[in-house]
Structure 1
Amino acid sequence: MSTSPRSGLLAQLDTQPRVRDFLARAVATGRTSHAYLFVGAPGSGKLDAAWALAQALLCDEGGCGACDACVRVARHTHPDVHLFQPESATGYLIAQVRDLLEDVALAPIRGARKVYIIDRAEQLRSNSANALLKTLEEPPAHTTFILLGTSTDVMLSTIVSRCQCVPFRMLSTDESAEAVAHATGLALARCRMAVAVAGSPARAIEFLKSAERQEARRQMLRAVDALPHADEADILLSAKDLMGAIRAPLADVKSTQQAVLERDADYLSRGALKQLEERNKRELTARERSGIMEALASVRVLLRDVLMSLEGVADGVVDEDAADIVARLAAVTTTSGVVCALDAVSDAERRIARNITPQLTIEVMLFDIRKALVCL
């Protein structure tokens, strides 16, 4: 087996070459760890690398990128790869870890192993972390855990000691944009915007492949552009339309999930089917939340460009395709107004993290941004 598969997700980790080569060697030699801890700043590509490693582990060729297993992992629909994210504003719920441990005891559905990706592992509090410890220490032979965190300093030492730590270096915006441009062949300015909105090179590439996600961004920018002259009814309608645009990419995910359920229903037990249905629901919720955060990032980038325009800073503008919107907003507001509007975006992000109703969150944010921009 080649130590450097050139078609799968692992080969695409060009912004983290040391991580890519280290993981590729481990997969090729059969020396992968039962538990990894990927550590690095947000935007360094840890989650992308986790999916890449999962693909390599489930593929008979170490991540060919073309087989059924590789395609399913790339689409985040493989039933043996589970992504866990905190479901509470204060961190992971003990019930989440119990669900994970119950699933660990079950055999894989399609592949030879199961992979559990635990995002923001620093939010594993004492009770939930202690419930996971024994399994991390003595996991089933067919199981791999991939924990993602910002720093070992903010995690329980008992968790850290049971994992093989893999450090990720922080990427500059230019490095990320250049990696996306190399992968897509698109203009550097467009790639810089995609990185700013999506958060990492791999997610930026997927963003640029999705007409629906790009349309959600455009719709969000148009909504903010209209705010200085919008009334209450306009804002409520915009929020409703925005949620429709954000949810549009979920249609393909639902269709794929349903096809998998129908195909596998004959040989899965009732309990396994129920677990798969619950996992599908969690995945849809996570994807919707990701789409909302992407839309909020679009607003943040736009407002940042308005702020730079007001301050006379020409370098570093991201939304070059929205220069007309930036100019219109800069003409009706002030620096302090934009700063308050950016605070409204931060408030919306915190509300989403606390599971506040998404449409209500967007409505409140739009009203607050309008108030800030026009100094009501």
Structure 2
Amino acid sequence: MIERVDELPWLKTQWSRLIERWNLGRLPHALLFEGRNGIGKTLFAGYLAKRLVCDGAHGAVEPCGHCKQCELIAAGSHPDVRTYRPEDSKVIKVDQVRALGEFAVASPQVAHHKVIILDSADKLNINSANALLKTLEEPNPDVTLILLQQSGKPLLPTIRSRCQSVLLPAPDTETAQQWLSSHLAAREEGGEADAGVQARALRLASGAPLLAREYIEQGFVENVDACLDSFRQFLKSRLAPEEAAKPFVKLGLENALSLMERWGADLARLGVGAEAADPEVADILGYLAGHNPPHRVHALLGHIAEARSGLAYNVNPELEVERLLFEWLSFMPRKKRAG
């Protein structure tokens, strides 16, 4: 939970607009927060919930921080604010949405308003999405529903059309670097190494500072380097597929697919003469781009996207990674695979 919206300075404009509408009594009953993963959507939604139930704001931009409602929010025990997330990080199930609907129609217990946050609304399945429609179609005026879209997977048009979309932007590079530096503890390697790790993490996070911080704290950058090393060795036929897959599996299948998507996008960029987003992999991808037509790259990206769509099911991570590694291997000229 943030204490002031200044902690996410790139979202201040969106915050001001939402609070202005709230103070005028014109805030929509359902909001859809869209934007890149790792820019603070969840924190922003939680802070907005605090402001909407605050008793001491009296038209101010920020919540007061000391009324009963704010104290309950800070303690994580406010009975009129609930967050629903995917179970087992896969899908939001219909039973969760039914519980959400029951909560939405009940009167507030201690506040004048209720807030429901549906995190990762893009992970609704067909049944849970249809169940949510009833709540959206019959809104309770005492309830604000905030949906967070955490990936590029589209929501059902029937759900999107019943929400007010709010695009939350990513910070510019300088702001992201400043935020990341100020929110990281000093690393043992010293200033220069620390700055290099931060820059690499921000590239991997596509400029999203909260995700970059998570990457650094979890050793994600080092794990990506292990994946890249295995990738290079496998393309040269110096590593068995089951061994090459190990660092990708350790990274987690969803993260491994995201990494391959980044490499695939860089492969497409290099194929048309543009620069790679990740310079660490530009050499090997540049070589592959020079030996393969664009339609093969597009097919690869399509297959990675298909693998991502299967994350909601119990797929075998090792087999999925190995299958994609073999597709990458097919991009190598045959005479070079044993080089």
Match of 1:168 in 2: 167
SS in 1 for 2:219: helix
Contact 1:119-1:147 within 8 A present in 2 as well: yes
Contact 1:176-1:195 within 8 A present in 2 as well: no
Residues 38, 369 of structure 1: alpha-carbon distance in 2 compared, 3 angstrom cutoff? same
Relative to the length of structure 1, the TM-score reads 0.58
Q: Hey, what's the Cα distance between the residues in 2 that align with 1:151 and 1:327?
A: 31
Greater CA drift, 186-195 or 332-341: 186-195
Q: CA deviation at 1:226?
A: 1.9
Q: Hey, what's the Cα distance between the residues in 1 that align with 2:326 and 2:93?
A: 33
* Alignment pair present for 1:305 and 2:304: no
Q: CA deviation at 1:295?
A: 2.9
Residue by residue over 1:54-83, the C-alpha shift from the partner in whole angstroms, topping out at 9 and shown as x without a partner, is 13424867397xx8955979xxxxx94223
Residue by residue over 1:213-232, the C-alpha shift from the partner in whole angstroms, topping out at 9 and shown as x without a partner, is 2233223222322221246x
Residues 168, 49 of structure 1: alpha-carbon distance in 2 compared, 3 angstrom cutoff? same
AA of the residue aligned to 1:298:
L
Contact 1:118-1:147 within 8 A present in 2 as well: yes
Where do 1:1-376 residues align within 5 Å?
Answer: 8=3, 10-25=5-20, 33=27, 35-38=29-32, 40=34, 43=36, 48-58=40-50, 62=63, 80-84=82-86, 94-101=94-101, 115-120=116-121, 128-129=129-130, 132-134=133-135, 137-139=138-140, 141=142, 144-148=144-148, 155-156=157-158, 160-161=161-162, 163=163, 165-168=164-167, 176-185=172-181, 194=201, 197-198=204-205, 201-230=208-237, 234-246=240-252, 292-309=253-270, 311-313=272-274, 316-320=275-279, 322=280, 325-331=281-287, 334-336=291-293, 338-374=297-333
Q: Unaligned stretches of 5+ in structure 2?
A: 55-61, 66-70, 183-193
Match of 1:284 in 2: none
Q: CA deviation at 1:364?
A: 1.6
Residue by residue over 1:126-168, the C-alpha shift from the partner in whole angstroms, topping out at 9 and shown as x without a partner, is 8843554247635495x542124689996227x745x5x2432
Contact 1:177-1:188 within 8 A present in 2 as well: no
AA of the residue aligned to 2:304:
V
State which structure, 1 or 2, has the greater radius of gyration over its C-alpha atoms.
2
Contact 1:54-1:115 within 8 A present in 2 as well: no
Choose between structure 1 and 2: higher helix proportion: 1
Q: Hey, what's the Cα distance between the residues in 2 that align with 1:355 and 1:97?
A: 22
Q: Hey, what's the Cα distance between the residues in 2 that align with 1:33 and 1:360?
A: 48
Residues 57, 366 of structure 1: alpha-carbon distance in 2 compared, 3 angstrom cutoff? same
Contact 1:243-1:359 within 8 A present in 2 as well: yes
Relative to the length of structure 2, the TM-score reads 0.63
AA of the residue aligned to 1:212:
G
Contact 1:116-1:145 within 8 A present in 2 as well: yes
Q: Hey, what's the Cα distance between the residues in 2 that align with 1:167 and 1:100?
A: 22
Q: Hey, what's the Cα distance between the residues in 2 that align with 1:220 and 1:70?
A: 40
How many residues of Structure 1 are paired with residues of Structure 2 in the alignment?
301
Q: Hey, what's the Cα distance between the residues in 2 that align with 1:301 and 1:293?
A: 13
Q: Hey, what's the Cα distance between the residues in 2 that align with 1:178 and 1:115?
A: 34
Q: CA deviation at 1:327?
A: 1.6
Residues 56, 205 of structure 1: alpha-carbon distance in 2 compared, 3 angstrom cutoff? farther
Q: Unaligned stretches of 5+ in structure 1?
A: 74-78, 247-291
